[in-house]
Amino acid sequence: MLCESFVFAFELMARSDAVMGVPATMLRGPLNHGHLIEIPLTGPLAAADFGLCMRADTRPTPLANAFARAVANAARRLAAERAGVK
């Protein structure tokens, strides 16, 4: 889903079991109100400031964990491509 309003997106996330990509600075900002937490991405990532978040009062589902791994893997591939590594 494409949402052009971070205010609406944060409210929607706080009431759902969805996962969304969001700039890390936005997650730490005043729109969050402590309702969402960051899903840590491990390993070296592309030079971009982004993160994933979910409701703070839940644990990641297996699907959310798989999505986080997929995002991290895609970021690593992108970083390798940008560095000219095959």
Closest CA to 31 of 50, 48, 14, 6: 6
* pLDDT tens digit sequence for 19-32: 887 777 878 888 88
Question: What is the pLDDT, as a whole number, of residue 44?
Answer: 64
pLDDT tens column, 33-76: 888 888 877 766 555 556 777 778 888 888 888 888 888 888 78
pTM of the full structure: 0.45
pLDDT digits (tens, 9 = 90+) for 72-84: 888 788 778 877 7
Report the pLDDT value the prediction gives residue 22, as an integer from 0 to 100: 78
Q: H/E element holding 62?
A: helix 62-83
- The b/e string for 24-52 (b: 16+ C-beta within 10 A; e otherwise) is eebbeeebbeebbbebebeeebeeeebbb
